[in-house]
Amino acid sequence: KDKSLILAIETSCDETSVAVVKDGCEVLSSVIASQIETHKAFGGVVPEVASRKHVEVITLSIEEAVQQAGVDLQDLSAVAVTQGPGLVGALLVGVVAAKSLAFALDKPLIGTHHIAGHIYANRIVGPLEYPCMALVVSGGHTELVHLEEEGRFQLIGRTRDDAVGEAYDKVARALGFPYPGGPHVDKLALGAEETVDLPRSWLAPDSYDFSFSGLKSAVLNAVNQHKMKGQEVPVAAIAKGFQDSVTEVLVEKAVRAVKEYSSKQLLLCGGVAANQGLRQRLTSRCEEEGIPLTIPPHVYCTDNAAMIGAAAHLKWKHGLTSELDLKADPQLKL
Ligand code: KG4
Ligand code: ZN
């Protein structure tokens, strides 16, 4: 049962995405309608606005994905959808659309975990070797997940406060950049000639958890001190100090986890995987340590439905389909 043709839907946050994926790894089409421009005016994602936007474009996105893939709906093996976690109103739109489609076509429905999706985006790059370790970094998540075998997830560490992407967005705002701020901070940091020394939050020596709120406060303090003295804020130096602190902690904890769990590879995923500073540091540390590292192409790092198709294929293979009363679950556990 390795062969499948899955139509996948992802609407957990501010991207309406529909994809058609063959055998869990070949992306036949991937439509992504981003709402970033809409939310920019508010400085972040507004849940109600997100739901409404999903409703507006979901049907058209499904049609477009099917057309681009050049498939017949009757040939689908299943319809997959992100069940959670995410914004409940946003998730609901995708879940209702997927259920309706599955019912109308008389095809199995597969509820999928959003983080399993981010992790299995790496299947689009190539087959995975187990056990492996995933570092999930996005606007909503910062997690280290150990995969003993296919489909078996063990959460070994997570953020205790802000997600990395969230911290990036808040720091960017303090430095005067619009939402989403991550790419701006990244660019500033890479071009910086000077740096500001900022704290690293290691927590307990054996902990794989993360914390970014102290660092975020340190950045805000640095910005305010300059402003109070009437000085120009050294935005590039602060961005570099912040990025160095974040990436050092992420990379060192991930490398330690790979060693402790004898992982055969490290998978980087989530929107912050686009960060150049993180990619560079992780790539060079993994080379030093002889750890095989995979990072999906950018379009499969940020929220997308192709990754949901890749994850759903594994459930489909094992007959793990959902009932038509599937409910969106904003707190769904991995
Ligand atoms: O995975 P994603 O698209 O959505 C969530 O599921 O959260 O991640 C979006 C997050 C935003 O916080 C954005 O600022 C951050 O990823 N991001 C970056 C970069 N590109 C996107 N953060 C740091 N550096 C980047 N280059
Ligand atoms: Zn995500």
233-284 pLDDT, tens digit per residue, is 999 999 999 999 999 999 999 999 999 999 999 999 999 999 999 999 999 9
pLDDT of residue 214 exceeding 90 = yes
Both 28 and 170 in one domain: the answer is no
Residue 307 sits in the same domain as residue 291: no
Confidence bin at 14 (pLDDT 50/70/90): confident
Residue 76: inside a domain, yes or no? yes
> How far is 110 from 102, CA to CA, in rounded Å?
9
Model pTM above 0.90? yes
Going from the Cα of 140 to the center of ligand 1, the distance in angstroms, rounded, reads 9
Whether residue 146 is contained in a domain is answered as yes
75 secondary structure, DSSP code = G
Spatial CA neighbour of 209 closest among 151, 261, 257? 257
Least confident of 2-6, 33-37, 156-160, 267-271: 33-37
Closest-lying ligand to the alpha carbon of 15? 1
Does 89 share its domain with 159?
A: no
In this structure, is residue 330 part of a structural domain?
A: no
pLDDT of res. 94: 98
C-alpha distance from residue 165 to each of 38, 40, 122, 183 (Å): 19, 15, 20, 10
Q: Pick the residue whose CA is nearest to atom 10 on ligand 1.
A: 139
Q: Are residues 176 and 209 in the same domain?
A: yes
pLDDT of residue 34: 85
Please tell me the predicted confidence (pLDDT) of residue 49: 83
Q: Write the ipTM.
A: 0.97
In a domain, 322, yes or no: no
pLDDT for 127? 95
Angle between helices 276-289 and 182-191 (to 10 degrees): 70
Q: What is the pLDDT confidence band of residue 38, given thresholds at 50, 70 and 90? A: confident
pLDDT of residue 168: 97
Residues with CB under 6 A from ligand 1: 13, 138-140, 165, 168-169, 180-183, 186, 270-272, 274-275, 302-303
- 147 and 286 inside one domain: yes
Please state, rounded to an integer, the average pLDDT across all residues of the chain: 96
Cα separation, 180 vs 40, whole angstroms: 8
pLDDT at 46: 84
What average pLDDT does this structure show over 290-318? 96
Number of domains in the chain: 2
Q: 10 Å Cβ neighbour count for 259?
A: 12
Please give the structure tokens belonging to residue 9.
Answer: 């839907």
**CA 315–ligand 2 middle distance (angstroms):** 19
Cα 292 to ligand 1 centroid, rounded to whole Å: 23
My answer on whether 113 and 238 are in the same domain is no
**Residues 237, 197 share a domain:** yes
> How far lies 137's CA from each of 32, 275, 278, in Å?
20, 10, 10
User: What is the predicted pLDDT for the residue at 48?
Assistant: 86
Residue 39 lies in a domain: yes
- Domain assignment present for residue 253? The answer is yes
The predicted model gives 77-84 an average pLDDT of 98
- Residue 318 in marked binding region: no
Mean pLDDT within 159-175: 96
User: Which residue of 272, 279, 281, 308 sits with most ligand 1 atoms within 8 Å of its CB, as the best mutation to test the pocket?
Assistant: 272
Q: Which amino acid is at 188?
A: L
The answer on pLDDT for 1 being more than 80 is no
Could you tell me if 152 and 83 lie in one domain?
no
Token pair 């379009």 is found at 299
19 and 55 within one domain:
yes
What is the Å distance from ligand 2's center to 229 Cα?
40
Q: What does the pLDDT look like over 111-143, one tens digit per residue?
A: 999 999 999 999 999 999 999 999 999 999 999
CATH code, 164: 3.30.420.40
First to last CA, the chain: 24
Residue 86, marked binder: no
Q: What residues make up the domain containing 257?
A: 130-295
Percent of the chain with pLDDT over 90: 92
Mutating to test ligand 1, I would choose from 17, 302, 303, 304 the residue with most ligand atoms within 8 A of its C-beta, which is 302
Residue 226 lies in a domain: yes
Residue 233 DSSP symbol: P
Nearest ligand 1 atom to the CA of 180 is 14
What is the arithmetic mean of pLDDT over 24-28?
Answer: 97
323 — pLDDT class (breaks 50, 70, 90): very high
Does the annotation flag 186 for ligand binding?
A: yes
Output the CA 312–ligand 1 centroid distance in Å. Answer: 23
- Give the separation between CA 85 and CA 115, rounded to whole angstroms: 8
Q: Are residues 220 and 105 in the same domain?
A: no
Any domain includes 171: yes
271 assigned ligand-binding residue: no
Kindly give the distance from the C-alpha atom of residue 230 to the centroid of ligand 1, in angstroms, as a whole number: 32
